Amino acid sequence: MSDSQETTRSISFTFHHKQLGVIVPKTLWQFLTEVTKTESQKTGTNGVSVFPPTERCSLHHLPKDLEKGGFKLCAVNFEKVHGEQGLRHKVKFVFAKEEYANPNQKVVKGHKLLAAVFQNLVSANLWQAQQYSNPVLQKGEVVAGVKSCSIDLNARVPLYENGKLKLEWEKDEQGEHVGDKALPIYPKNVLSFSGDSVQLNASK
């Protein structure tokens, strides 16, 4: 069965940032499940890149798209990553088809607040996005006909500052300002979920 014929069982969105509090307010950390690098590697699979890192993607359609597609939030994990750039954090929001969703107790208790955080992350920011298609494993064996999708999100571009839309100048190849004034930041690309897969399209 080809990848295009496989059905999507789960979708995860991993947000990367130096400061955990930028992604999830400190008051909600009690609802997060911390995982170690080893645990993270165990849950990872040999994913195939669907599209490469793509700058300035808007994800604001996704919360409604996932709801329409029958996906439910079932886990929110975070991991501390020590690297050349110092300490960074990864926060993963995992959505699964309703019949497979088995949310942990932390998500059950904090569901409304965590859903609001996800909504804000995808509607108030643009991200550099990269998608992978992963096999689904059951007792160490690949389950035929299904897949999981994972979206890595880096290079956050906030759309608001002090409650107001941020403005920026358009620049030419030499870095010189173009136009008469700075304009609101617009996405170059848009992610949406349709046809049982995450779609990447150029912004209109």
What is the rounded distance in angstroms from the CA atom of residue 166 to the CA atom of residue 183? 8
Query: Residue 20 gets which letter from DSSP?
Result: H
pLDDT score, position 116 = 95
pLDDT score, position 63 = 95
For the cut 50, the answer to whether the pLDDT of residue 44 exceeds it is no
What is the rounded distance in angstroms from the CA atom of residue 204 to the CA atom of residue 193? 17
pLDDT score, position 6 = 80
Q: 60-96: per-residue pLDDT in tens?
A: 999 999 999 999 999 999 998 887 778 888 999 999 9
Q: 29-43: per-residue pLDDT in tens?
A: 999 999 876 555 544
Q: 152-176: per-residue pLDDT in tens?
A: 999 999 999 888 888 887 777 776 7
pLDDT score, position 4 = 53
Q: 93-140: per-residue pLDDT in tens?
A: 999 998 888 888 999 999 999 999 999 999 999 999 999 998 888 777
Q: Are 202 and 189 in contact (CB under 8 A)?
A: yes
The continuous run of DSSP H or E covering 22 comes out as helix 20-23
What is the rounded distance in angstroms from the CA atom of residue 16 to the CA atom of residue 76? 13
pLDDT score, position 1 = 39
Residue 47 banded pLDDT, cuts 50, 70, 90: confident
Amino acid letter, 202: A
| Count, residues in the chain | 204
pLDDT score, position 156 = 94
User: Residue 147: which residues within 8 A CB-CB, separation 6 or more?
Assistant: 3, 6, 7, 8, 9, 133, 134, 135, 136
Question: What DSSP letter does each residue of 46-76 carry, written as one string?
Answer: --EEEEEEEEEEE-TTHHHHHHHTTEEEEEE
